[in-house]
Amino acid sequence: MDNERVGVARVLRVRDRRSIARSRALDLPLRSPAELAATDTQALTQDDYRALGEFRHAIRQFLAFSEEGAKAHGLTSQQHQALLVVRAHAGPGPISISDLAQSLLIKNHSAVELVARLVERDLVSRREADLDRRRVVLSLRPRGAEILEAISRRNLARLNDGADILVEIVEAARRAARPPR
């Protein structure tokens, strides 16, 4: 496997949800919008716009493919994403409903409703946290884990098929994100 593919594989394996970690994984400088406006005085090129357009298109294609896989298993896209967040949680203990809401970029009450539907379908279990009974934590049930694995295997195969384009997209993003000299 060449260095570019190793870099993409590393990016795909990033588990930390924080933007700083994602920025480091992509080897992109972390700059605020104010810093970008102050330092990026060069106009974007046609290649920059093309790279952004191709990236957006690749993301939309993958999301549509993933949504189709979720639908084939009787899940909404958001339910699939919730299962993935619960399984991928890298914290010291089980994920809480508020962590799930934050990860899915939804309100806490929406996450509560989403979890209720997942519990009803026996995909997730919820319980009070051991140390703080006000906190509700989640875990995958065997049926949820089985469905998630099937969808994830299909999605990873699709990502593997598109690895070459991902390398090109990451390289274009790196070029576009470099500060002008």
pLDDT reading at 25 higher than 60 = no
Residue 2 has pLDDT above 70, yes or no: no
* Confidence (pLDDT) at 112: 97
Give the pLDDT score at 163: 82
How far apart, in whole angstroms, are the C-alpha atoms of residue 51 and residue 54? 5
pLDDT of residue 5: 40
What 3-state DSSP class applies to 175?
Answer: helix
Domain spans, the chain: 3-28+43-177
When the candidates are 1.20.1090.10, 3.40.50.200, 3.40.50.720, 1.10.10.10, the CATH number that belongs to 3-28+43-177 is 1.10.10.10
In whole angstroms, what is the distance from residue 13 CA to residue 15 CA?
Answer: 6
* Token representation of residue 149: 């694995």
Which residue has better confidence, 131 or 39? 131
**pLDDT, tens digit, 9 for 90 and up, residues 97-154:** 999 999 999 999 999 999 999 999 999 999 999 888 889 999 999 999 999 999 999 9
